[in-house]
Amino acid sequence: MTGKTIKELSGLLREKKISARELAGAYSERIQKYNDSINAYITFDNDILMKEAEESDARRAQGAPLSEYDGIPIAVKDNICTRGMLTTCASGILRNFIPPYDATAYQKLKAKGFLTLGKTNMDEFAMGSTTENSFFGPVKNPHNQEKVPGGSSGGSAAAVSAGMAPVSLGSDTGGSIRQPAAFCGVVGIKPTYGRVSRYGLVAFASSLDQIGSFGRTVDDAAAVLGVISGHDSRDATSIDREIDFGGTIDSDGVKGLVVGVPDEYFRGLPDELTGAIKKKISDLESMGARIEPISLKYTDYAVPIYYLIATAEASSNLARYDGVRYGYRAGNIKRLGDLYTRTRQEGFGKEVKRRIILGTFALSSGYYDAYYTKALRGRTLIINDFKEAFRKVDVIITPTTVSTAFGIGEKVSDPLSMYMSDILTISANLAALPGISVPIGKDSSGLPMGLQIMGNHFQEKKILQAAGAIEKISEPITPDI
Ligand code: GLN
């Protein structure tokens, strides 16, 4: 049962071939069996899950399901607020934080009858690319437990990959959905900035953060994204646009599609990965798409621009963790100043501290123009690069990552090399564009490879169609754990 898509599961529930309780039970068993090794969940509460499943069965028995998804379980990244359920952001500073309200995205899922499997592990405050920066220990890649699952939404990607959730929510500030999707061999989509409400998403870098979804198939990821999208009066940056995707994706739609391929995104990759991506692009061409070489000439600047803007915003957003209003508070305090410093010193992990310091520096008087303002100007150049490209093409296809999953511990002591590994995903966030990663098979060492498709603003439907076409011509990847 745990290998099925949510389309299939929703059919089984509708025909009463399975109950929500049986389904929840199957996932619960699987989580209890594998979570000790994979560490995908920070919080798993069987009682809550079973109670929600019973309520779902009762609604179906009365012929009144909340939607076709009533009874489908979903895992939620631990930076998305869930009322009454621990929401830690994988940080020591929020180790005891139980939100008094639901994030809009989660509340929309509940309104359709989705069941809560639990809260997934991540890099602390979503800062990282491996899920090694978690207060609760690293997540393992289900395809090879010596490897990282990617990050920061590593728990959400690993859960879907390992059959510990059929679908999940993640967040993507610089690639945190697409990169772990690629490393774990699942589909992950980050929508256009503004598509999904950020209300109740614990802020990292507010001008870049977006919630999105993971699934085993393009249809599944699209279905969840369709449910959580839409305007929310509680997030002024959310946008009221027609949601023209979410059902079954028509993947025959690549005829005439113009696909841009930027040279800059194929530098320094292993030949095997380049070859696999290029092969899919030429397959699309034989299916009727037109391939157009393009240039995204400011790509090399994306990493420094991102790491200035993201850290600047983070240093401001994280100022609220002062030991007074939220979460952890240091004990044995004699002076007010000590309360702040000791709480933050004991509560935050190393990477979070590094970013607060970097961001504070970039915003400080005397350096603001040299770093922060300059980064904002650079961001505009990147936006213009894409504007120009989308005058000629419908979608842009690239690899999602510069390599397949790296080893646990391999890059932790070298933050710069870790930051550099984000080069192919962060531009979409800087330019507010939607992007998706689709699995296209395994490399010779058995690790999944991901292909990224980026679209113009609000063109989720187009990237989903192209992703559906790629999916059709690629082998599904299931780990044998
Ligand atoms: N790896 C990037 C970072 O460390 C992106 C993280 C994210 O998208 N949340 O900031």
Cα-trace Rg, the chain:
21
pLDDT digits (tens, 9 = 90+) for 342-389: 999 999 999 999 999 999 999 999 999 999 999 999 999 999 999 999
Structural domains of the chain sorted by starting position, each given as residue range(s) with its CATH number in brackets: 1-481 (3.90.1300.10)
- Residue 50's Cβ-side half-sphere holds a number of Cα atoms within 13 Å equal to 7
Region 329-334: mean pLDDT is 95
pLDDT digits (tens, 9 = 90+) for 37-83: 999 999 999 999 999 999 999 999 999 999 999 999 999 999 999 99
Q: How many CB atoms lie within 10 A of CB 357?
A: 12
Q: Whose CA is nearest to atom 5 of ligand 1?
A: 174
Region 195-209: mean pLDDT is 98
pLDDT at 252: 63
Torsion of Cα atoms, 6 then 11 then 13 then 14, to 10°: 140
Residue 476 has pLDDT above 90, yes or no: no
Spatial CA neighbour of 85 closest among 94, 73, 97: 97
pLDDT at 253: 73
Residues 219, 166 contacting (CB under 8 angstroms): no
How far is Cα 87 from Cα 171, in angstroms, rounded to an integer? 14
pLDDT digits (tens, 9 = 90+) for 265-314: 999 999 999 999 999 999 999 999 999 999 999 999 999 999 999 999 99
Residues 128, 351 contacting (CB under 8 angstroms): yes
Tell me how far the alpha carbon of residue 126 lies from the centroid of ligand 1, in angstroms: 6
pLDDT at 325: 87
Residues 74, 117 contacting (CB under 8 angstroms): yes
From residue 113, alpha-carbon distances to 43, 107, 136, 441 in Å are 20, 10, 29, 33
Entry field: residues in the chain? 481
- For all residues of the chain together, what is the average pLDDT? 96
**Ligand 1: residues whose CB is within 6 Å?**
126-129, 152, 172-176, 204, 310, 422
pLDDT digits (tens, 9 = 90+) for 82-95: 999 999 999 999 99
Residue 200 has pLDDT above 70, yes or no: yes
Q: Give residue 212's Cα distance to chain centre.
A: 6
pLDDT at 481: 83
Tell me how far the alpha carbon of residue 152 lies from the centroid of ligand 1, in angstroms: 6
The letter for the amino acid at 379 is R
- Provide the annotated active-site residues: 77, 152, 176
From residue 219, alpha-carbon distances to 188, 239, 276, 316, 389 in Å are 11, 23, 23, 37, 27
Region 99-116: mean pLDDT is 98
Beta strand 210-215 with 187-190: parallel, antiparallel or unpaired? Answer: antiparallel
Beta strands in 173-324 (DSSP E): 187-190, 210-215, 258-262, 290-294
Ligand 1 atom nearest 176 alpha carbon:
8
The tokens describing 202, both together, are 């614990």
The tokens describing 268, both together, are 């320094």
Ligand 1 atom nearest 175 alpha carbon:
8
pLDDT digits (tens, 9 = 90+) for 414-425: 999 999 999 999
Residues 90, 40 contacting (CB under 8 angstroms): no
Spatial CA neighbour of 142 closest among 164, 169, 167: 164
Spatial CA neighbour of 313 closest among 426, 203, 211: 203
The tokens describing 93, both together, are 């500073």
How far is Cα 192 from Cα 205, in angstroms, rounded to an integer? 15
What long-range pairs does 328-334 form, CB within 8 A, spacing at least 24? Answer: 328/92, 328/93, 328/94, 328/95, 328/96
Tell me how far the alpha carbon of residue 294 lies from the centroid of ligand 1, in angstroms: 26
Q: Whose CA is nearest to atom 10 of ligand 1?
A: 127
pLDDT at 249: 67
